[in-house]
Structure 1
């Protein structure tokens, strides 16, 4: 649009409107109807393009329309919202949402992801490091479409775990919030080792066999069912590294690997046969022979000289029976394993283990 240059005698000066000048005797500019209608129509075009119904009584519609239209090309607004309690977010609060759940469990509900909202971004970020549950929920039947390999439609809510945990979400005008980014995108169910026992952000927990409520962790229950390492609660003993189905209706249990050594699952290689994922295996020693030295050693059984030798070394410990101390016959399996054992070899404990370092293990819960 432009000034009404095509309309004669409207009192324009250099193509612009002017006021009346009584001293000079010059009239003010006239505004022709065609131009006034043109300006109005230009503004209404912007308002309508934003999906807003024009209202004569609302003088703020143009700025609202511009915000909506600009939001579609740049959906993240320069807005910071701070929350300390549960709340349903309004569209004008979307931007960076900082949430403090230190006072108790909080639920923050997103606006409806419909055409009226448009394509909008929000970053929800947790600022406290308490253990209180912090839920970010979609409105009504809307969905947050994460872990779609487990559920194509996504889930009704997510949880922020640990101070600094954040998700960046974008609405699609069709009832869905899509994750654009997040603090920790490590795969669900991944086990990691830490050099701290503190709560770490990103969705982690101790692998301690906790009993969880299925409706609180629907994506994790879906994962457990598809894991190939799910047993019923009665079979938990000996399968502590597996998931369990809990009470069979409302709960389930995460694995417990505290204090255990880990071994790679055989998966048909044939080295560690007939093992199921998450099963526990007791300690054992490989079958082997022990030999006692002669008084002077020999080619087959070398050893230091023993004064006043009193050992019969003509048989190994797997032969039975054999003469141990001269004049006494012992069944050889007892040589190193019973009250009649011959000598002490090394330091003994409650298990067979290599030298090791203990680090806390964590599992990704979301």
Structure 2
């Protein structure tokens, strides 16, 4: 856009319009039709681009259009979208997306993170605390770039676990959604103790040796494979604290920690050598012996010299008897029981 400088007859002064001056005898500027139409088309392009319908009687449409376009140009638009069923989000619905998955498994599909979308933000937050699976999936071959230490390209989807769990994602216009923030960024696979029997939101599950689907939990399967604590299901006995390859094709198994004490892996110190990560160890007393003494070997020791040592039980030819059984099924210190949890995403 510019003044109609290419039309010499319009009477511009220093390239700008001027009013008629009767005293000086100078004419005012004329507005050629081509220029007037061009200005109108420029304004209409903005109004149409914002999705509005031009209306001759509305003199605030340009302002409305600019506000709408500026909201879309910002990474975080002002939209708040409530969802209760599976839904593919449009660009205009990005912003804060509140999802209630009470009715069953729910998938929220993101729009393509391409050049048309550009740099946009979305916060997806879960409202319900049901056991329904809630998936946030990227479009086509797009990826969500989380846990890139396991898979540099990221993963095609993530899951929201528990009421209040949320992820803040930003598109880069090149096929990727990058995590900007999330409810709980604790490292994947981290073990935690809880003072509640409920599962806290943010990606936690029970530390109970559960069997997982590789396709439902690809990042967790990658973690298991790279952990150094992966065995086959047949070799699980004695390695219950690690991961197993499940059925060998579709599943894998997580660590079992219920009812167990946790001990740091030796890692070359020599205090608890020859232990593999996740290996199980039975309870044990430190090696020692007990001495049972007696003044007799079945008959009175009349001729025993004064101060002669008592006989050791294991040197006697007969039993001096046994103590009563005491204790329980295991050796353990005084302790408090808390629920064990493992970070699954």
Query: What is the TM-score normalised by the length of structure 1?
Result: 0.76
Report the Cα distance in structure 1 between the residues aligned to 2:43 and 2:309, rounded to whole angstroms: 108
Contact 2:84 2:100 in 1 (8 A): yes
1:195-274 to 2 correspondence within 5 Å?
195-274=195-274
| CA distance in 2: counterparts of 1:238 and 1:217, whole angstroms | 25
Secondary structure in structure 2 of the residue aligned to 1:281 = coil
Q: 1:314 aligns with which of 310, 314, 317?
A: 310
Structure 2: gaps of 5 or more residues: 20-28, 56-60, 296-307
Aligned residues: 313
Alignment partner of 2:260: what SS?
Answer: coil
| Aligned counterpart in structure 2 of residue 362 of structure 1, from 320, 341, 345 | 341
* 4+ runs deviating over 6 angstroms: 1-6, 44-48, 60-66
Displacement after TM superposition at 1:238 (Å): 1.2
Deviation at 1:115, TM superposition (A): 0.9
- Partner Cα separation in structure 2 for residue 235 and residue 203 of structure 1: 28
Compute the RMSD of aligned alpha carbons: 3.5
> Which position in structure 2 is the counterpart of 1:171?
171
Shift in CA distance, 59/114, structure 1 to aligned 2, threshold 3 Å: farther
Distance in 1, matches of 2:179 and 2:43, equals 35
Distance in 1 of aligned mates of 2:66 and 2:110: 21
Aligned to 2:153: 153
Show the counterpart of 1:25: none
Question: Which ranges of structure 1 fall in alignment gaps of 5 or more residues?
Answer: 17-28, 296-311, 324-328
- Superposed, 1:56-75 pairs within 5 Å as 59=54, 67-68=68-69, 71-72=72-73, 74-75=74-75
1:237 Cα deviation after fit? 1.3
| SS of 2:225 mapped into structure 1 | helix
Following superposition, the deviation at residue 289 of structure 1 comes to 2.8
CA displacement, residues 255-303 of structure 1 (integer Å, 9 cap, x when unaligned): 11100011111111111111111111011101123245789xxxxxxxx
Residues 244 and 36 of structure 1: is their aligned pair in 2 closer, same or farther, counting only changes over 3 Å?
same
CA distance in 2, matches of 1:247, 1:256: 17
Length-normalised TM-score, structure 2: 0.80
In the aligned structure 2, how far is the partner of 1:127 from the partner of 1:192?
24
Structure 1 residue 2: deviation in Å? 8.4
Deviations 1:291-332 (A, max 9, x none): 45789xxxxxxxxxxxxxxxx972556xx3236xxxxx23xx
Aligned residue for 2:187, secondary structure, equals coil
